[in-house]
Amino acid sequence: MTATPKNATATYVGASGQIYNVDMYISDVSGALCTHNPSGAAGSSSQTYWRAPESVVLVDLSIESGTADTKGLIWLQDGAVRNGTAMRYSNFLSTLATRSKLNVSFPAGALIQAQQF
């Protein structure tokens, strides 16, 4: 199939109460890391991680629509897979009135990544 890249937004809440909306670019390539941009639109050349400035909790993921070749994301912390964090795109489409509630915590300074599957 032909890859259909998509954009998404990961929303984190910091220990201070600060909200961080991090734009993501999903290339639709299995095994590839998503790119992240906390200050604008993420693209194919954006960095493949977001470093948490404080302890944060991932509370929402919103994806603009589904992809052709990949089905979801799994989250990594400092390069290691976080068990229990596999998320199928179908549960997090931006068009859904209600999305699954998330509560995935990361410590301050963590290198946060998402790998496509």
- pLDDT band at residue 9 under the 50/70/90 scheme: very high
Domain assignment present for 1:
no
How many domains, in total, are found in the chain?
1
Domain assignment present for 69:
yes
Domain assignment present for 11:
yes
Determine the number of helices (DSSP H) and then strands (DSSP E) in the chain. 0, 10
CA distance 71 to 90: 8
Q: What are the phi and psi torsion angles at 37 (to 5°)?
A: -150, 110
Which residues span the domain enclosing 64? 6-116
Kind plus residue range of the DSSP H or E element containing 112: strand 111-116
Per-residue pLDDT of 41-85, as tens digits, reads 999 999 999 999 999 999 999 999 889 999 999 999 999 999 999
Domain assignment present for 61:
yes
Domain assignment present for 78:
yes
Domain assignment present for 110:
yes
